[in-house]
Amino acid sequence: MTTPLYGQMMDVPLTVSSLLAHASRHFGTTEIVSKRIEGDVHRYTYRDCERRAKQLAQALMALGVEAGDRIGTLAWNGYRHLETYYGTTGFGAVCHTINPRLFPDQIAYIVNHADDRYVLFDITFAALVDVLAPQCPNVRGWIAMTDEAHMPRMSTAASSYEALLAQHDGAFDWPELDERCASNLCYTSGTTGNPKGALYSHRSTVLHAFGASLPDAMGLSARDSVLPVVPMFHVNAWGIPHAAPLTGAKLVFPGKDLDGKSLYELMEAERVTYSAGVPTVWLGLLNHLREAGVKFSTLQRTVIGGSACPPAMLKMFQEVYGVEVIHAWGMTEMSPLGTLAKLTWEQSQRSPDEQRKLREKQGHVMYGVDMKIVGDDGRDLPWDGVAFGDLHVRGPWVIDRYFRSDASPLVDGWFPTGDVATIDKDSFLNITDRSKDVIKSGGEWISSIDVENVAIAHPAVAEAACIACSHPKWTERPLLVVVKRPDADLTRDDMLAFYEGKVAKWWIPDDVVFVDELPHTATGKLQKLKLRERFRDHVLPSALDIENCPFDEKEGHALRHVKTDLS
CB of residue 238 to ligand AMP, shortest distance in Å: 9
Least distance CB 479 / ligand AMP (angstroms): 20
Cβ(54)–Cβ(91) under 8 Å?
no
In contact, 356 and 315? CB cutoff 8 Å: yes
Does the protein bind ligand AMP through residue 364 (CB under 6 A)?
Answer: no
Alpha-carbon span 421 to 401, nearest angstrom: 23
Minimum distance from residue 329 beta carbon to ligand AMP (Å)? 4
Q: What span, in angstroms and rounded, lies between the C-alpha atoms of 180 and 199?
A: 11
Q: How far is the CB of 181 from ligand AMP (least distance, A)?
A: 23
Give the integer Cα–Cα distance in Å for 251 and 68.
28
Indicate whether 526 belongs to the interface with ligand AMP (CB under 6 A). no
Of the pair 22, 520, the CB lying nearest ligand AMP is at 520
Interface residue with ligand AMP, options 89, 146, 362, 448 (CB under 6 A): 362
What backbone phi and psi angles, to 5 degrees, belong to 330? -175, -170
User: With respect to ligand AMP, which residue has the nearer C-beta, 25 or 440?
Assistant: 440
Nearer to ligand AMP by Cβ, of 392 and 434: the residue is 434
Residue 327 or 557 with smaller CB distance to ligand AMP: 327
188 is catalytic: yes
Q: Assess contact for 96 and 30: CB atoms under 8 A.
A: no
Q: How far is the CB of 544 from ligand AMP (least distance, A)?
A: 34
Site string for ligand AMP, 417-446 (x = CB under 6 A): xxx-----------x--x------------
Which of the residues 446 through 505 are near ligand AMP (CB under 6 A)?
Answer: none
Residue from the set 18, 441, 523, 542 that interacts with ligand AMP by CB under 6 A? 523
Instruction: Exactly one of 30, 156, 188, 302 is catalytic; name it.
Output: 188
The distance of closest approach from Cβ of residue 431 to ligand AMP in the complex, given in angstroms and rounded to an integer, is 4
Q: Which of residues 133-192 bind ligand AMP (CB under 6 A)?
A: 188-189
Residue 237 or 328 with smaller CB distance to ligand AMP: 328
Shortest Å, Cβ 418 to ligand AMP:
6
Distance, CA of 311 to CA of 453 (rounded, Å): 7
445 annotated active-site: yes
**Could you tell me which of 519, 475, 521, 512 has the C-alpha nearest to residue 490?**
512
336 binds ligand AMP (CB under 6 A): yes
Q: Should residue 331 be labelled a site residue for ligand AMP when binding is judged by CB under 6 A?
A: yes
Distances (CA, A) of 212 to 20, 26, 241: 16, 20, 11
**Min. distance of Cβ 419 from ligand AMP in angstroms?**
5
From the CB of 422, what's the least distance to ligand AMP, in Å? 13
Nearer to ligand AMP, 143 or 391 (CB): 391
> Which H/E stretch holds residue 563?
none
Q: What share of the chain is helix, strand, coil (3-state, %, to 5)?
A: 30, 25, 45
For residue 401, count CB atoms less than 10 angstroms from its CB and return exposed for 0-12, middle for 13-18, buried for 19 or more.
middle
**Nearest residue (CB) to ligand AMP, 34 versus 236:** 236
Give the pairing of strands 70-74 and 116-121.
parallel
Between the two ends of the chain, the Cα-to-Cα distance in Å is 64
- To ligand AMP, the closest distance from the beta carbon of 242 in angstroms equals 16
d(CA 285, CA 288): 5
Residue nearer to ligand AMP on the CB measure, 90 or 524? 524
> Which residues have C-beta within 8 Å of that of residue 305, sequence separation ≥ 6?
238, 276, 278, 327, 328, 329, 330, 362
Neighbours of 426 (CB within 10 A): 18
Number of residues that bind ligand AMP (CB under 6 A): 20
Catalytic pick among 50, 179, 333, 463: 333
Interface residue with ligand AMP, options 60, 235, 323, 420 (CB under 6 A): 235
Cis peptide before 100 (omega within 30 of 0): no
Phi-psi region of 404 (alpha: psi -120 to 50; beta: other; left: phi over 0): left
- The dihedrals phi and psi of 30, each to the nearest 5 degrees, come to -65, 140
- Name the active-site residue from 315, 354, 445, 502: 445
Judge contact between 347 and 355, C-beta under 8 A.
yes
Question: Is 174 one of the catalytic residues?
Answer: no
What binding mask, one character per residue, do residues 278-317 give for ligand AMP by CB under 6 A, x or -? ---------------------------xxxx---------
**Looking at 440, 491, 553, 555, which residue is catalytic?**
440
Cβ proximity to ligand AMP: between 296 and 329 the closer is 329
Determine the Cα–Cα distance for residues 65 and 61; give it in Å rounded to an integer: 5
Q: In this complex, which beta carbon is closest to ligand AMP, that of residue 84 or of residue 189?
A: 189
CA–CA dist 189, 192 (Å, integer)? 9
Distance CA 422, CA 447 (A): 10
- Which residues in 17-36 contact ligand AMP (CB under 6 A)? none
Residues in contact with ligand AMP, shown as a per-residue x/- string from 184 to 223 under the rule CB under 6 A = ----xx----------------------------------
* List of residues contacting ligand AMP (CB under 6 A): 188-189, 235, 305-308, 327-329, 331-332, 336, 362, 417-419, 431, 434, 523
Catalytic residues, which ones? Answer: 188, 333, 440, 445
